[in-house]
């Protein structure tokens, strides 16, 4: 029996091409965002490396977006309370610089943390701390559609249809 991989969360996987890679990562028992594994699984270039964060594009972008950047914390931590507050400054600087460079009109910044596998998940497929910078593509949204970012769902969550 393979050892449980506590670094990834397959119930939060959104895409089929993502699922294949994540299943391999799970089998290997790797954390895909730890530096030694990042180059193995993450195919997008590193845009910037700071003291605390690595900036890259999301390998598994959400639908209907113009931009989606990912800042990955350089050491393996999983909870908000473990983050060096100094790294907040660097994170904002990195995101602001990229938003400027890409002429982003607006969007959002999101970071999830922690896990609670007994009851569900907080939306992350990878528990290693990372932050998203997203510009949704407003022109691609339907009249009744809002671009949303999930912060949690119960175990055995069933997507509502219609």
DSSP of 32-85: TTSHHHHHHH--SPEEEE-SSEEEEE-SSPPSSEEEEEEEEESS---SGGGS-T
Q: Is the separation of the CB atoms in 130 and 7 below 8 Å?
A: no
Q: Does residue 73 belong to the site contacting Zn ion (CB under 5 A)? A: no
Instruction: Map residues 52-71 to x or -, x wherever contact with Zn ion holds by CB under 5 A.
Output: --------------------
Min separation Cβ 149 and Zn ion, Å? 21
Q: Does residue 26 belong to the site contacting Zn ion (CB under 5 A)? A: no
From 18, 21, 28, 34, residue interacting with Zn ion (rule: CB under 5 A): 34
Min separation Cβ 31 and Zn ion, Å? 3
Q: Does residue 31 belong to the site contacting Zn ion (CB under 5 A)? A: yes
Which two tokens mark 113? 């943390």
115/72 Cα distance (integer angstroms) = 17
DSSP element (H, E) containing 101: helix 86-101
Q: Near Zn ion by CB under 5 A, which window of 23-31, 60-68, 93-101, 115-123? A: 23-31
Q: Is the separation of the CB atoms in 29 and 3 below 8 Å?
A: yes
Q: Which residue is nearest to Zn ion (CB)?
A: 31
Nearer to Zn ion, 34 or 111 (CB): 34
Using the structure block, give the residue that is written with the tokens 């964060």: 53
Nearer to Zn ion, 22 or 31 (CB): 31
Binding site for Zn ion (CB under 5 A): 31, 33-34, 76, 128
């Amino acid at each position: 029996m393979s050892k449980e991989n506590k670094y990834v969360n397959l119930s939060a996987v959104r895409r089929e091409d993502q699922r294949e890679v994540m299943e391999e990562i799970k089998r290997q028992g790797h954390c895909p965002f730890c530096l030694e594994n990042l180059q193995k699984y993450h195919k997008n270039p590193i845009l910037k490396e700071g003291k605390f964060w690595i900036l890259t594009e999301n390998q598994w972008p959400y639908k209907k977006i113009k931009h989606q950047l990912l800042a990955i914390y350089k050491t393996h931590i999983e909870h908000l309370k473990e983050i060096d507050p100094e790294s907040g400054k660097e994170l904002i600087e990195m995101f602001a610089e990229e938003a400027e460079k890409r002429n982003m009109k607006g969007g959002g910044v999101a970071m999830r943390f922690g896990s609670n596998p007994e009851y569900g998940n907080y939306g992350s497929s990878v528990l290693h701390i990372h932050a998203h910078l997203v510009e949704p593509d407003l022109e691609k949204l339907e009249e009744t559609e809002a671009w949303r970012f999930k912060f949690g769902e119960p175990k055995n969550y069933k997507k509502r249809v219609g």
